[in-house]
Amino acid sequence: MEQLRKKIFSSQKIVVVIQSDFKLPTTAIQLLEEAGEQLSLESWKHSPAVLWTALGIVSQQRQSPSAVHWLAFWLQEEKRLHRVFSLDWGDLERAAGVEKQRIVKVLGNLDRATCDHCGAFSSKRQYRTAIEKKRAPLACPDPICRKQLMRPNVVLDGVRFTKDYVVSLNTELQDVELLLLCLQNPDTERAILERIAQQVPRHCYVAALCPARIELPGVKIAWLSGSPAELAQQLLDRPEPLPPEPLRVTQPLLDPANPQSTLCQCVLL
């Protein structure tokens, strides 16, 4: 932990990857089980209404930022945060005060819908109204398209990622000094983590706050075992590294070999 604190205060360009402890609401699980579906692109193709309703339930969950999100905000206030790569569908980073332009939603966001046919987006208001009134999937707002294929703007297949993620991955990680992985279950998004780790420079310090050890090809990782939120809280409780122990000079001693000189006896406080 002390080594990580020191690295934070010696780094001017930090990237944080956040994965929260997401749990699908019971009502959404029951709905999917009754329909024999799951949260996947394949299920969306033949049962869009079921997936729409289930994701609507997820989007209405009330969640609060954890210490991990507040840590990202603190790094921003310290002028050290470069980007947050969020592996969540919610807006917990924004709720904690992280600026929108610093957040990359790798798996999309449950704040609007997108058309599978032409790529057009609904407004946040249109999507929220449709969710609250439990309407079937929205019709595309494009006057030429008008397909009934609007789906919540999230990644369901684990293959196609958001445009922001692809652009940031290829252009914004070259000078990163510290990559901080705050992960509740790293194995679920290993492919994403490997791609991010491959783009940071070789001298970049990589630290992981997660319950289980994580290994990425060709990357040396400083692993802190435990809950990401609890470990982040420890950093927030005392963010500064421990100062070096001060020295106290006691009475000078005469050097018997040279009466004109003195020796200082130094002891730790």
Which domains does the chain possess? 26-60+108-154 (3.30.1600.10)
The string of pLDDT tens digits covering residues 212-240 is 888 888 888 999 999 999 999 998 887 76
The DSSP symbol for 102 reads G
Please state the rounded mean pLDDT for residues 146-153. 72
User: Does the pLDDT at position 260 exceed 80?
Assistant: no
The per-residue pLDDT for 52 is 79
The per-residue pLDDT for 251 is 47
251 CB contacts (<8 Å, ≥6 apart)?
265
Per the model's pLDDT, the better-predicted residue between 34 and 238 turns out to be 34
Strands (E), the chain: 14-19, 81-86, 103-105, 108-115, 150-154, 178-183, 205-210, 221-225, 247-249, 253-255, 258-263, 266-268
User: Which of 44-48, 70-74, 90-94 is modeled with the greatest confidence?
Assistant: 70-74
Per the model's pLDDT, the better-predicted residue between 79 and 187 turns out to be 79
What average pLDDT does the structure give for the chain?
79
Per the model's pLDDT, the better-predicted residue between 236 and 121 turns out to be 236
The string of pLDDT tens digits covering residues 106-119 is 888 877 788 777 77
CA dist 126 and 31 (Å) reads 23
Longest Cα separation, the chain:
99
